[in-house]
Structure 1
């Protein structure tokens, strides 16, 4: 069995195929469970990739579904690879279950679209910027923060290595929120300008005077697309209060995609210069005038 660190895409694909084969054969969850000598919840967990794949159980299910040998053999041959831990396994002790699931999908996504209503989106943050946010928003030990920064760097490296497309949208307010002081913000701005020139990265910034748009008031949102038929698009919504919704229902995902498309259409086109920094307040601007 694979140590639990969130299912890989290979695991998800085999689990989805088992579900589709059961449905194609017209076999109910109850009937599949009887064949295994288990509870229907066990079959459901197998089909949702919530538990490691057991070769004996998979073979019993394939036989119950009357799957031809030519179709069953590739599934059986793929179990070992599907049970391997994901590359993020070494950080699993510092990751919430939802984040393990998201990284599992992200690691094979061909397209990642992301929106943050107040900050630079996570996958575009430089270490110094992210370190300040970690201290301010999550606290925790220095070791835990260091592990988070290591994981973020590895996610960025793998994203660039496989040439996955990242499309990020943020408001100009994100560039004026002082995270770490002028030096950190200048470095973050320079990193964004560099990112905007890379082929697989798209950066759009909504000006401060933009009118309301379809994502006004929407918390951080990520849309992930994996180029595998068995894996549908996912929408990840980071709700204030540390709650995260991972949405796979097609109509709901489409609604968020339409919202993101609408907001991107209002923003200046990709490749536009970043909004200039706000002018620094001079001594006269900071003097106490005695007025409220």
Structure 2
């Protein structure tokens, strides 16, 4: 059984296929649960990738749905890979519970769009900038724990870059003037962002200080993830720092966030436009 560290995309895909097969067969959650001699909540957790995929349970569900062998065999063959822990499992001690789900999707995303209303977006932060923020956000952490958080962020950035995924970031110029970690840290962060604008697969837009309000003004940090798997729709992650993080997969709500972000990006200066003093 896969250790609990958040489902991989492979796990999510198989879980979604099981749900679709049940719905197409016209089998209720109750009937599927009876086939397993379990509670309907068990089937629901399987379909939401909230628990490991047990071969016996999956086989019984496929029999219940009368799934032909040509469809069932690839599902059963994929259980081993789906139950493997994601690469981020070794850093689970340095992660919030919601991060396990987000990083699981981020690790297979072909496109990540991100907005932060006050700071440099996470996936563009230098280690020194990230460390300075973590010291404020996690004041009880030991130096070793803080270093683990920085290591995880660097690994996320490396994997995104090596995979050739597209990253599109929108941030206010105020983020470049907020003193995080001291002047040397900010100089490095601004220089890294300036260099990043020339990287392939990366788009950075900065909203000037004298820019009028736009569609994302006042909106908490937002991330849109596109995973190239038809079973998984686009995901929106809306952060309310210190309160909660909402992971949204409702297509209509995700579309609303995308439209709002599109409007803000259209109103912002073109990517690569130099800012005064930057």
TM-score (norm 2): 0.98
Equivalence for 1:284: none
Q: Structure 2 CA distance, aligned partners of 1:241 and 1:155?
A: 22
Q: Structure 2 CA distance, aligned partners of 1:209 and 1:246?
A: 32
Equivalence for 1:222: 223
Question: How far 1:272 moved relative to its partner?
Answer: 1.2
**Contact 1:111/1:226 (CA < 8 Å) preserved in 2?**
yes
Question: How far 1:93 moved relative to its partner?
Answer: 1.9
4+ runs deviating over 2 angstroms: none
**Contact 1:235/1:246 (CA < 8 Å) preserved in 2?**
yes
Q: Structure 2 CA distance, aligned partners of 1:146 and 1:191?
A: 20
Question: How far 1:138 moved relative to its partner?
Answer: 2.0
Equivalence for 1:82: 82
- Other structure's SS at 1:255 match: helix
Alpha carbons of structure 1 residues 275 and 100: separation in structure 2 relative to 1, 3 Å: farther
Matched, 1:263 2:264: yes
Equivalence for 1:157: 158
Aligned length: 277
Q: Structure 2 CA distance, aligned partners of 1:96 and 1:128?
A: 21
Q: Structure 2 CA distance, aligned partners of 1:61 and 1:220?
A: 40
Equivalence for 1:173: 174
- Other structure's SS at 2:164 match: coil
Equivalence for 1:182: 183
- Other structure's SS at 1:5 match: coil
Alpha-carbon deviations, 1:126-164, whole Å to 9, x = none?
011111111122222211110000000000000011100
Equivalence for 2:71: 71
Equivalence for 1:206: 207
Q: Structure 1 CA distance, aligned partners of 2:59 and 2:272?
A: 53
Q: Structure 2 CA distance, aligned partners of 1:99 and 1:163?
A: 22
Equivalence for 2:11: 11
Q: Structure 2 CA distance, aligned partners of 1:163 and 1:222?
A: 18
**Contact 2:29/2:40 (CA < 8 Å) preserved in 1?**
yes
Alpha carbons of structure 1 residues 55 and 223: separation in structure 2 relative to 1, 3 Å: same
Question: How far 1:95 moved relative to its partner?
Answer: 1.4
- Other structure's SS at 2:22 match: helix
- Other structure's SS at 1:12 match: helix
Matched, 1:29 2:51: no
Question: How far 1:242 moved relative to its partner?
Answer: 3.5
Q: Structure 2 CA distance, aligned partners of 1:186 and 1:81?
A: 44
Question: How far 1:94 moved relative to its partner?
Answer: 2.2
Give structure 1 stretches of 5+ with no counterpart.
278-292
Deviates more, 1:131-140 or 1:61-70: 131-140
RMSD of aligned C-alpha atoms? Answer: 0.8
Q: Structure 1 CA distance, aligned partners of 2:230 and 2:195?
A: 34
Q: Structure 1 CA distance, aligned partners of 2:23 and 2:233?
A: 17
**Contact 2:169/2:203 (CA < 8 Å) preserved in 1?**
yes
TM-score (norm 1): 0.93
Q: Structure 2 CA distance, aligned partners of 1:88 and 1:241?
A: 23
Alpha carbons of structure 1 residues 275 and 243: separation in structure 2 relative to 1, 3 Å: farther
Q: Structure 1 CA distance, aligned partners of 2:138 and 2:118?
A: 17
Q: Structure 1 CA distance, aligned partners of 2:241 and 2:153?
A: 21
Q: Structure 2 CA distance, aligned partners of 1:137 and 1:93?
A: 16
- Other structure's SS at 1:269 match: coil
Equivalence for 1:251: 252
- Other structure's SS at 1:224 match: strand
- Other structure's SS at 2:191 match: helix
